[in-house]
Each structure stands twice: as C-alpha cells, then as structure tokens.
Amino acid sequence: MIKFILRRLLLTIPTFLALTLVTFVAIRLVPGDPVEVRAGEHGISPERLAMLRHEMGLDQPVIVQYFQYLWQLAHGNFGTSLRTSGPVATEFFSLFPATLELAFCAMMFAILLGIPAGVLAAVRRGNVLDHGVMGISVIGYSMPIFWWGLLLIMFFSEWLNLTPISGRIDPIKFYFDTPTGFMLFDAWWSGQEGAVWDAAQHLILPTIVLGTVPLAVIARITRSSMLEVLSEDYVRTARAKGMSPLRVVGLHALRNALIPVVTSIGLAIGSLLAGAVLTETIFSWPGIGTWLIESINERDYPSLQGGIMLISSFVIVINLLVDVLYGAINPRLRHGR
Amino acid sequence: MKSFIQTGAVALFAAALLASTAAGAKTLVYCSEGSPENFTPALNTTGTSFDAARPVFDQLTEFKPGTTETEPGLAQSWDVSPDGLTFTFHLRKGVKFHGGVNGFKPTRDFNADDVLFSFNRQWKDDNPYHKISGGKFDYFSDMDMPASLDSVTKTDDYTVVMKLKSPNAPILANLAMDFMSIQSAEYADFLLKAGKPEQFDQIPVGTGPFSFVAYQKDAVIRFKAFPEYWRGKAKIDDLVYAITPDPTVRLAKIEKNECQIMIAPRPADLAELGKNADINLLHAPGLNIAYWAFNTTKPPLDKLEVRQALIQAVDKPTIIKEVYQGAGQAAKNLIPPIMWGYNDDVTDYAYDPAKAKELLAKSGITLPLEIDLWWMPVQRPYNPNAKRIAELMQSDLAKVGVNATLKSYEWGEYRKRMQAGESMTGQLGWTGDNGDPDNFFFLFGCNAEKKPASQNLAKYCDDAFNADLVKARGLSDQAERAKIYKEMQVIMHNDALMMTIAHSVVYEPIRKSVEGYKISPLGSHYFYNVDLK
C-alpha cells in the first residue's frame, strides 16, 4: 500500500511541472498586460509603463520570469498579487474554505441522491422510474449553470420566499468572526442563535445548482455499472440461494458497482471547482471563483498562476485519496494485479 | 457558584447582543458590485475601490453631494495668490480620527502633518510608505500632480501652503478626488513601529463619517457611524456593503429589501424597476462622452469638408435609440450638459446624407472613399456596444459613397495603436474625473497631441483652442473660465474633429424607505446624508 502511494506521489511531480508551464504560458498568451489593463482611458506614458513593468518584473525575458517563478514555488512562495499587493497564498486560503464548503455540500447532495437514483433506475430497468431518472439526469447534465441558478433564485427566493437570495449569511442579523472560513462551523462556534440555520439556508440553492451536474453523472454511472453487475453470475447465484433482493442489491451488487462511481467522483472534483466559479458569481459566494475571474480581467499573473497551482494541488490530492480508497474497495488494484 | 457565573456570563452576552442589534439601530445595506483592491484610494483606479474607502475618508476640498462643484472639506478656507501659483489652506480644527480601529488610539486631532503625509506618500520616494502595497499612485500621476506641484509645506499645524509650477485652477477639484483622501500620519507611524505597515491600506483610519469595522473579501464590508464626525453623526448607525457581482441578483435583493440601494442595474431591467411601487428609480446624466474621432493628420481627413460630411452622413438619433435604449442622450459638445461651462447654444450637425454628398463632392476627393472605423472591444460606461454603433455607421456611410472597414483589437492594444495615431477614424470616450471642464478639454490640447499615449486621437492642435485652454487653467474665477470653455466648444464644433455620440444616463434604484440619497454625477456613492424611514 505504501509503495502504491509513493508511486502515485512521484507521478505528481511531472504533472506539477507541466502545470506550471501550461499556466504560465497560457496566461501570457492572452493579449494585454497588467499595466496597460490598469491604465484605462487615461493612457500611460511610455516612461511610466516601462517603470511599472520593471517594478513588476515584466520587463525580463519570459524564460527568466518562468525560472524565477519556479524558484519561488520551490520555496513555497506563490508570489504577490499585482492587484492588491497581498500574498497570493494568503488571499487564496482566506477564500478557499467558502468554495470547499460549497463543493463539499454539492458533492454530498450529488452522492446521496445520485447513487440511490441510479440503483433504483437499474433495478427497475426499462420501467417508468428508469426512464424518469435517466430523462431528468440528461436535463440536469445539460443545464446551463447560470440560467439554472437564476431560475432557482426567482422561484425559491422571490416567489416562494423560502431561501435567501445570495451570500453566506444575513449581514444584518449576524456578525461574528470567521476564524475557519467554514460558515456552518463558524456560525455554530459564534454561539449566536439561529446563525447555523441561517448559514444552512444560504447553502441550499448554491448546493443544488453546483450539485446538479455531478448528480446527473453519478446517477447515470451508478445505473450502468449496477446493470452490469446485476447480470454477473455471482448475483444470480446469490438470488438463486434465496437471498432477499435488498441484500443482493445492497450488499453484493452495490459494493462492486461503486468502483467506477468512486472514480467518477474523483474526476468530478475538477469540474466541480470549475462550476463553482459560475455558481459563486451568481450567489455572491465569496470563494475563489470571483477572485479568479477578477485576476483574469486584471491580468494578475501571480494570482492566476498561484491560484491554479493551489487548486490543481487540491485536485491531485483528492484524486490520490480516491485512488487509495479505490484500492480499499478493489483489492485487485492494491495488489498490482 | 459556577452556575451563578454561567448565568451572569449568559446575561452579559445577551445584553451585548441586544445592544448590538438594539431596536432602532438603522442599518443601510448597499448592494455593491465588487471587492476593493484595498482601502487606500490613492493606490486604486476603480470606482468600486473608491466607493469602498469613501465612507472612511475626507479630502481638503469636497464635492457637494449630487453635484460636480467643490466645497470646503478638511480645509475650511483657502487663499490663492494673484499669480495663481500659491494656495494657502486653512485647516479645520477639532477634527477627530477614528479611534479603536486595529488597536490604534489617536492622541491628537487632524492637522497639517496628515496633509503633508497624504501628499508625500504619493509624491516623494523617501516617504517610508511610498513603496508599501505596490506603490502605484496612478491617479496622482494621471492628474499630472508631480508635474504641477512645486512644494507643499506647513507654516503651522493648521496652515498648509501649496506652490505650483504653473497656474492650475482645476487643482482644487483634484484635491476633492478620492486619491487625495487625507490619511492619518499618526496611524502610519503606529503601524510602522509595530512592523506591519501593509495593514495601513487594509484597515483604514480616517476622519470620515463612518469608521471601518470589518471586511470579508467578496462578501461584505462593514462600517459604523462615527459619533465624533466633524459634520455631526450620520443618521444611519451601520453601513453594510453587500458585494453582489451579478446585476440580476442585485435586482432580486433590492426587490426583497435585502439591500436598499443598488449599483448598475441592467438596462433590460429598467422597465421592471420603474413599475415597482417600493422602489425609486433615480437617474442622472453621466459625466462622460462617447465619440467617433477623426485623425486630422491622415488625408483626406485633413479636409474640414470631409470630416463634416462624415458627421452628417451618420444617423445619430437611430444610434441613441437602438444602442443606448434610454440609457443615453445625444451629445453635441465634448462635455455633458450637467457640467458648468456647457454651451447650449451650439447647434449639432444634423443627419443629412444629401448635404454629406455635397460636401464630399466639394472637397474634391474621388468616391468611393475608403476609411477604417475602429470600435472598442469592451463595454464602457459611455458606450454599451461600440461594435453595433460601428455597424450602423458603416451602413449609413455606404449610402454616401464611403466604404468603412471595421477594425478592432484587444482593449489595451486598441488604445495603444489608436493613441499612436494608427487609425483613420475610431470610437473612444472619456469619463470625467473631477467635474472640471479642463478635465475634458485637456484631451485635445496641443500638449496632449505631442504625448504618445494621450487621448488626442484627432491629433489636433489648434492655436486658438490651446491658448484658451491654458488661459482658463490660470484663472480662478469660475464665471470667466466658463466663458472661455463655451468658446472652446464652438471651436471644436467648427473644426469637426469628432462626432460626439452620446453621454450616458446613469440609473440607480433605491428603496422608497431611503431618504436624502443623491445620485452623484461623478459615479461615486456617498451615504452620509442618508436616512431610513
């Protein structure tokens, strides 16, 4: 097992190197540099442009800038934001918990609804339930996030008055420190009455919006994988032995059917974070989404590079964990067979 | 005993909670658009950042709410020497800085040291704060402060003398701008000694109507009314900026009274907002101009008849109707009508294709005439859709025998190439900084024509126009200056160096419960006078 983890860890090194190169180059391929973007209609004199570019280190050859960046990274330094002059890592970690909280809730929503829906569809294959679940999942998968979010706000917040429109907590009723950045926890920690419930209400719509696509994916994969497993000999044997259908499906089939589902969850983390960018914009959710968009608009190279590196590290770590978990469910892999 | 202490603690806590949400505490929530870069306006360039710091700070001179006129702020009065070169400011006494923010307790009132610090931080390399937080003082440089200032000194704690290199009346309006906000020199020292000077720009201390409480990036900024504010405590107790980037969501929030004032509604939502019985839809002309400039150095645009023909060939009313859709008014001058010095006697060129053809024939050029027509790739406050405007122009021009090739580049590249004089004709615009007409007319002065990065896209340098520009800058009497600016508008009209397209109209929805709020022509948001019913 340890050998397996070590091997996977070593494999991440080239991934990281490739990533630094891709982010570094891609951002610079976008026309316009940070100084000029800032200048606006006022324009900027060539002398001032040269001076500011020099201060930002943008006058160096790109290859030199790249190696300087790698050198910084190797020392755990993610650079300083050109926009706010704050350290990139500090800014990132002050915002990331909000994204993480939302992504976690969305994932839980997708898993807790998606797996049972997929199992049900597989067990009742070909019947109305199956067609219903699969139909809804196609719609869910192709739902444009922006439109879906606004639709839910209009329906639940404006018409039914059930959920708050945006943000993480009611800023008038509640005011407390957020030491961890995880609002549910901070609200509980603050001891203010009703704060946890308020924070939870604020989470409902963004969770649904962000969780919809993974929910559809998980439901579909669970269904197809379940169908495959249900036709296996050992399931037939279990049934022939007179085992209750619930035990057959729940115990024997599901555990094996879950293997591809777990993989897909690991892969979904990446798209979940991408979806978070849009979801956060709609719901004024103070995570890394808005921050990244602003960094792109302002050509804030260090923030973008650092942000993408940190997110990617997170995705890589999650996938590593998934692989380990996978090994636990599927002993064939663990033993290298 | 233990339970007694516990009960006591709970009671105390409940009392504190009650006090903080005491009945009658008035909280105004403003749905803003984005997060500030930091809380020192001198370091920033965006309206969002200026708005975020504005409740905290005052300036030496200030804009009267809802106007572009300046009035005394932290400077109670000032004298100007007859040659217009020396300004002596008499500072207000007894003005307090916010106490208790970030552990800082002011030991003295506002005085001349704070003024000197606020100038020198931006101006002098040797100021210990000059390089803190990136040290890019764009506005100080854009408003030509280093080139204008000769010295700023104090004669005593409440008198500051500012000497200029050349007469510059608009500088009083510059001093009212956000970048000239007065910060506390004592707070700066306090943080320097504590070894954390970078906090100076993150946790602001000023003399303004509200003191800073907390900021959570992309979520919320909190302020509370400063009881010792020199104009008297604000009528509201707490001010909250709810950062809400999406305009549709801002609209939903104001409709549900989750905020009481919102910035920048979508034009498509204006009709719905107008019908809402709980909301007042305020509107005001924007302090800006969108124009289509002709490069007068490129033949045949050096010919006056050709330029006049191009203007008259284009159907401006249709552009206003189709592209601006109610959020713009046709412009006949460079400056908007809300600005002092506006010349309403200028008659705009009418849409007249027959006259355009006639002028083209008179100019002696061969038709069809080939020109380029540049359009900006981005939306600007003064121009919602430059591409659509260019297309409308293109079809109008074709009717008089002018073939316009549409062209565009990435926004930074676009400005750079146009400012270098690469285009024949192209769209751009300007948003006023300080409400002074000079801040518009300088764009087309001879000085700007020489500068490689200036907005003088017409590459225009007219002796009479330029002499007026310099003369008006040297006068301190506003009526006299206004007279000169009126003349300059006539010169610009006659020389036809551009087609002035439109001034935008700015909309701001507020709940009917909000009283005393005035929409600012400068695009800033100011909540001191606001009350809640």
Q: Tell me, what's the ipTM? A: 0.83
Lowest mean pLDDT among B1-5, B94-98, B326-330: B1-5
Question: Residues of A211-250 as b/e, b for ≥16 C-beta within 10 angstroms?
Answer: bbbbbbbbbbbbbebbbebbeeeebeebbeeeeeeeebbe
Beta strands in B299-401 (DSSP E): 328-330, 369-374
H helix or E strand, kind and range, residue B320? none
The minimal CB distance from A168 to the residues B219, B410, B419 is found for B219
Percent of chain A exceeding pLDDT 70 equals 97
Whether B220 has its CB under 8 Å from any CB of chain A: the answer is yes
Which of B30, B122, B129, B216 to substitute to test the interface with A, most A CBs within 10 Å? B216
| A187-227 tens-digit pLDDT | 999 988 899 999 999 999 999 999 999 999 999 999 999 89
| A144-201 tens-digit pLDDT | 888 899 999 999 998 898 999 989 998 888 888 888 989 999 999 998 889 999 999 9
Pairing of strands B402-407, B369-374: parallel
Angle made by CA atoms B153, B199, B114, in degrees to the nearest 5? 15
Tell me how close the Cα of B222 comes to any Cα of chain A, in angstroms.
Answer: 9
Asked if B242 and A290 come within 8 Å (Cβ–Cβ), the reply is: no
Other CB atoms within 10 A of residue B358 CB: 15
Are B276 and B64 spatial neighbours (Cβ–Cβ below 8 Å)? no
What is the rounded average pLDDT of the residues B389-400?
96
CA distances from A240 to A229, A236, A244, A248, B250 (A): 16, 6, 10, 10, 61
Average pLDDT over all residues of chain A:
86
Question: Residues of B277-315 as b/e, b for ≥16 C-beta within 10 angstroms?
Answer: eebebeebbbbbbbbbbbbbebebbebebbbbbbbbbbb
Are A265 and A109 spatial neighbours (Cβ–Cβ below 8 Å)? no
H helix or E strand, kind and range, residue B218? none
The pLDDT-based confidence of B241 (bands split at 50, 70, 90) is very high
Average pLDDT over all residues of chain B:
90
Question: CB-side exposure of B494: number of CA atoms within 13 Å?
Answer: 9
| A210-269 tens-digit pLDDT | 999 999 999 999 999 989 888 888 888 888 888 888 888 877 788 888 888 888 887 788
How many residues are recorded in chain A? 337
The three state secondary structure string of A206-252 is HHHHHHHHHHHHHHHHHHHHHHHHHCCHHHHHHHHCCCCHHHHHHHH
* Token couple for B512: 């009917």
pLDDT at B449 over 80: no
The pLDDT value recorded for residue B18 is: 41
The pLDDT value recorded for residue A273 is: 84
pLDDT at B257 over 60: yes
SS3 content of chain B, % helix, strand, coil (to 5): 35, 20, 45
| A48-78 tens-digit pLDDT | 888 888 888 888 888 999 999 999 888 988 8
| A311-328 tens-digit pLDDT | 888 888 888 887 777 777
| B47-86 tens-digit pLDDT | 899 999 999 999 999 999 888 888 999 999 999 999 999 9
- Single-letter residue type at A240: A
* Token couple for A331: 């002993």
Angle made by CA atoms A278, A281, A286, in degrees to the nearest 5? 115
pTM of the model: 0.86
| B105-126 tens-digit pLDDT | 999 999 999 999 999 999 999 9
The pLDDT-based confidence of A29 (bands split at 50, 70, 90) is confident
A31 CB neighbours in chain B (<8 A) are 409-410, 412-413
Residue B280 DSSP SS3: strand
**Separation of alpha carbons A112 and A114, rounded Å:** 6
The pLDDT value recorded for residue A335 is: 54
**Separation of alpha carbons B431 and B415, rounded Å:** 15
Percent of chain B exceeding pLDDT 70 equals 95
**Separation of alpha carbons B320 and B504, rounded Å:** 10
The pLDDT value recorded for residue B467 is: 94
The pLDDT value recorded for residue B453 is: 66
The DSSP code sequence of B95-150 is: PPPP-SBTTB---S---HHHHHHHHHHHH-TTSTTTTGGG---HHHHHTTHHHHEE
Asked if A32 and B218 come within 8 Å (Cβ–Cβ), the reply is: no
Other CB atoms within 10 A of residue A281 CB: 22
DSSP 8-state code for residue B269? G
pLDDT at B129 over 50: yes
- Single-letter residue type at B516: G
Are B382 and B351 spatial neighbours (Cβ–Cβ below 8 Å)? no
What is the rounded average pLDDT of the residues B137-163?
93
B451 CB neighbours in chain A (<8 A) are 43, 45
B289 CB neighbours in chain A (<8 A) are none
**Separation of alpha carbons B383 and B324, rounded Å:** 8
The minimal CB distance from B412 to the residues A37, A82, A284 is found for A37
Tell me how close the Cα of B397 comes to any Cα of chain A, in angstroms.
Answer: 27
A84 CB neighbours in chain B (<8 A) are 37-38, 133
Question: CB-side exposure of A260: number of CA atoms within 13 Å?
Answer: 16
The pLDDT value recorded for residue A140 is: 85
| B3-50 tens-digit pLDDT | 444 444 444 444 444 444 445 789 999 999 889 989 999 998 888 999
What is the rounded average pLDDT of the residues B379-391?
90
The DSSP code sequence of B460-496 is: ---HHHHHHHHHHHH---HHHHHHHHHHHHHHHHHHT
**Separation of alpha carbons A136 and A133, rounded Å:** 5
Which of A30, A33, A44, A178 to substitute to test the interface with B, most B CBs within 10 Å? A44
The pLDDT-based confidence of A125 (bands split at 50, 70, 90) is confident
All structural domains of chain A, each given as residue ranges with its CATH number in brackets, are 88-334 (1.10.3720.10)
B453 CB neighbours in chain A (<8 A) are 43-46, 49
Which of A90, A99, A290 to substitute to test the interface with B, most B CBs within 10 Å? A290
